Structure 1
């Protein structure tokens, strides 16, 4: 296997060859793939092919096509990198990052790259890159419980359903994504909400060790004691510090539990808002209860229905804490006792891949009045979208009570900027799916109108919170700025310390950078 140190001569040779194919530097270019890259001036792809033979693919090859096809949204699938690095080991990642860092210094602008795990962030360029290099971590999909089952090490290339299917068999769980097709890497680095958040906090609050490749190609293990500043920065800091190749999370016993969906007619919305406020604001919040309260627009009838995803992480049906929701008139019901894998696959099925997608998010003080205002604004702004072919439009309200936001303090802290002092909050997620790019601008315009009007109302009535959940943010939002000035300053200091060349700020344009 090629070592990181051995790559530099290869890269230099390729760089010389790119300038003048008649020089001595052209001698190493014996592979057909490298020659192809050079003929189009794609020097870093050529160097990567030499350093990682058999793991670099270009347009129209099976690995390249498969990698693009595995993105969730059509926008990301439509982005075409010059080549894809299909890493299978941490050393592959280290070599690739080293080549790209050095290449970026020698050939500015020619070695920009993206890193993807699950590829579920919908906007173009989030975890893919046009005319650059995409490092695909899908094959880093290990799931390794510790001998005493107190922790589990997972690779970033896993989808959460893959992780849970292995842990269900062992009777344990970790805090992780609620949608089975979502990848481990992005969700965890963006903070992450789980069915277990009222008991254990954000997903990132449970990570005890990160294996990360820095811009230099060095691989380090980051813990609360080894690199404490970087450890905190990675808890919400997204892709700004390196490439995480493994996450070790605390684990806990977990058997089957109660969950599913209950559908209600739109006429129950006011009762839903009231029930949500009481659920989220209860001084006796049941830590086993989680809720996603969604309002789905039906364009054919210009009407709404409601779908509540209720999960109670005990083997108990219809617990009293959900009474205000379960007592409302129902139009469908999938509630059952099952396992974690099953429930995350159910959520995956609610919004399949292969479509154009938009996420937009906001955070507000827990209030039925605020929820009602958001709904009314949405009902107005969605009218312009009724003619859009294949339009799917939903609002999802999710509790962020102090029982969740207070957990970080006892677990070493995170970078999200939320504390119990923020009070009980709720997260709003707008999800829009459609078929044709001809409607992209219209959908963006109407989504911005919704959130601009909601922000104006929230600020005027004391409901506004600057936090934006990064994993739901639109490309025109600034979630990291929403962590607050102190957190941003800390993240920037950590970035300068561990990435002095600012590779992950300048050469990795995807996602949300520290000035966003």
Structure 2
């Protein structure tokens, strides 16, 4: 055996012995100390430098080490599994990232071994072994959940879908997409608060907060998590819930990929049958009325908790601007009064129907198919018609440099983000670890989220499109600040690579997340060697 393999084997077995408290030659038992908070982030006894002295910094060596310990689960570019994993990303940008290898673990123990080995590399090898962890792979920007020249860990085999006997909880593997979840739950007359697009992954959406059709009734998706199963940078497997590792539990509800690898989500279930929903198309000339109707609809004082709305202003060269709004009413009741202002306006198309949750999420996927170049950018402002108009007017006025781009679609989507939703994530008196980490409190009032989505095919258009988005959000932010409608919160799952959503949570939340990161990841592996996603270090505090 080569000196490299001997040194890595020595380091790994030493760590396995400490992690499992069993013979070093044995595998890590899945249930080893999963609830013991005393093991959190314990990296003080990692192997000495002599155990890893022969390691080198080249990424192929990192892949070779993983291949040695995880035979048949590490794939390089010549393998069909490598290509299939890349093609399963939603955006063209992520599909084009080329990691040195893709690890497709089969078990929790596989992930523990790989994370431990990569953490050893982070400590002892200059530049370490940068890696990414992906669930559904829906975040569009290159490198969000894929690592150029490094290691990408693809959790697609984590496909658990277990419903408790009392049908009050579902355990979901981190590789699942929401369509998988809903197909099982629809058949049982159940639901959980989850994503609205069938292909979106459970993991990324939940860790970023998550908006659901059911958010007015049950809060954000992260607020419906009962327990996270997490692998820390040390390789240790722990649970995070309201009783055990409660600070980590709160941090993961919005803190994204900064603390560990979540391999399982235990979530609340509720009874849910078929309901009313679909899309209605309307002429762009109705936009001013629609702004006004939106503000009335989105007020918490009168908000109907069964209603959900995505109002989208879409542009293509063939159609020009038009309005395509997604209405959902989570009862089997057609055309409820809360939507009357909107549905009374003249319509150009209508897909409204009573159907199941899976069907509605597949419909939304159809409007956002995979394989294009994609851009997301987001902002938040107070529930205000003038601010909605401002976004559209500036976007319309600045389309010229790229509006003839082939296969171009531009969409501005407005969504209510009222206190009836956000209040369900507030910390409660006497339980400081409840709530989420998003930093929104009652003083923020009723908010509106806006998402710019751009789809295109030609990389030559990248600069014009990115310049357009940068200018649009810079100008609207300045105008909203002047008007007093600006809010710093950024919904993480819609943020662009250039944005810093965690900073928008506010200083108190940033300080909390930083302290949790240092407690559970003292070597800061997830800050320095997992560069994808939105890092705490962008705030300059870690």
Task: Quickly name the TM-score band, shorter chain normalised.
Answer: over 0.9
2:317 paired with 1:295: no
Q: Secondary structure at the match of 2:298?
A: helix
Q: What's 2:279 paired with?
A: 261
The partner residue of 2:218 within 200, 211, 214 is 200
C-alpha separation in 2, matches of 1:312 and 1:299: 32
The partner residue of 2:503 within 460, 478, 481 is 481
5 Å-filtered alignment, 1:184-263, equals: 184-263=202-281
The partner residue of 1:150 within 168, 171, 185 is 168
Q: What's 2:391 paired with?
A: 374
Q: Which runs of 5+ in 2 are unaligned?
A: 1-11, 26-46, 429-433
Q: What's 1:118 paired with?
A: 136
C-alpha separation in 2, matches of 1:247 and 1:402: 25
2:328 paired with 1:306: no
TM-score (norm 1): 0.93
Q: Secondary structure at the match of 1:100?
A: helix
2:380 paired with 1:363: yes
C-alpha separation in 2, matches of 1:465 and 1:108: 41
2:191 paired with 1:180: no
Per the TM alignment, residue 13 of structure 1 is displaced from its structure 2 partner at its CA by 11
2:78 paired with 1:67: no
Provide, for residues 354-402 of structure 1, a one-character-per-residue CA deviation record: whole Å limited to 9, x for no partner. 1100000000000111111111011011222212222110000000011
5 Å-filtered alignment, 1:135-174, equals: 135-174=153-192
Q: Secondary structure at the match of 1:515?
A: helix
Per the TM alignment, residue 208 of structure 1 is displaced from its structure 2 partner at its CA by 1.0
Q: Which runs of 5+ in 1 are unaligned?
A: 20-37
C-alpha separation in 2, matches of 1:180 and 1:286: 25
Per the TM alignment, residue 18 of structure 1 is displaced from its structure 2 partner at its CA by 5.5
5 Å-filtered alignment, 1:71-82, equals: 71-82=89-100
Q: What's 1:426 paired with?
A: 448
Per the TM alignment, residue 15 of structure 1 is displaced from its structure 2 partner at its CA by 5.7
**Residues 278, 351 of structure 2: 8 Å contact kept:** yes
Q: Secondary structure at the match of 1:488?
A: helix
The partner residue of 1:470 within 492, 510, 534 is 492
Moved more, 100-109 or 218-227: 100-109
Q: What's 1:29 paired with?
A: none
C-alpha separation in 2, matches of 1:508 and 1:18: 19
**Residues 15, 43 of structure 1: 8 Å contact kept:** no
C-alpha separation in 2, matches of 1:409 and 1:437: 42
Count of residues paired in the alignment? 495
2:312 paired with 1:317: no
Per the TM alignment, residue 351 of structure 1 is displaced from its structure 2 partner at its CA by 1.2
**Residues 174, 264 of structure 2: 8 Å contact kept:** yes
C-alpha separation in 1, matches of 2:505 and 2:55: 43
Residues 421, 15 of structure 1: alpha-carbon distance in 2 compared, 3 angstrom cutoff: same
Q: What's 1:42 paired with?
A: 60
Per the TM alignment, residue 109 of structure 1 is displaced from its structure 2 partner at its CA by 1.7
Could you list the runs of 4 or more consecutive aligned residues of structure 1 that deviate by over 6 angstroms after TM superposition? 6-9, 11-14
RMSD: 2.0
Per the TM alignment, residue 282 of structure 1 is displaced from its structure 2 partner at its CA by 5.0
Provide, for residues 146-190 of structure 1, a one-character-per-residue CA deviation record: whole Å limited to 9, x for no partner. 110111110111110111001111111110000010000000000
Provide, for residues 94-131 of structure 1, a one-character-per-residue CA deviation record: whole Å limited to 9, x for no partner. 11100100122221324110000000000000000011
TM-score (norm 2): 0.88
Q: What's 1:507 paired with?
A: 529
Q: What's 2:353 paired with?
A: 336
Q: What's 1:439 paired with?
A: 461
The partner residue of 1:271 within 284, 289, 302 is 289
**Residues 480, 515 of structure 1: 8 Å contact kept:** no
Provide, for residues 272-318 of structure 1, a one-character-per-residue CA deviation record: whole Å limited to 9, x for no partner. 111111100151210000000000013245x3110110000011111
**Residues 481, 515 of structure 1: 8 Å contact kept:** no
The partner residue of 2:408 within 369, 391, 399 is 391
C-alpha separation in 1, matches of 2:87 and 2:50: 33
Per the TM alignment, residue 323 of structure 1 is displaced from its structure 2 partner at its CA by 0.3
**Residues 14, 46 of structure 1: 8 Å contact kept:** no
2:65 paired with 1:54: no
**Residues 390, 434 of structure 1: 8 Å contact kept:** yes
Q: Secondary structure at the match of 2:158?
A: coil
C-alpha separation in 2, matches of 1:445 and 1:66: 32
Residues 72, 147 of structure 1: alpha-carbon distance in 2 compared, 3 angstrom cutoff: same
Q: Secondary structure at the match of 1:239?
A: coil
Provide, for residues 474-495 of structure 1, a one-character-per-residue CA deviation record: whole Å limited to 9, x for no partner. 0001100000000000000000
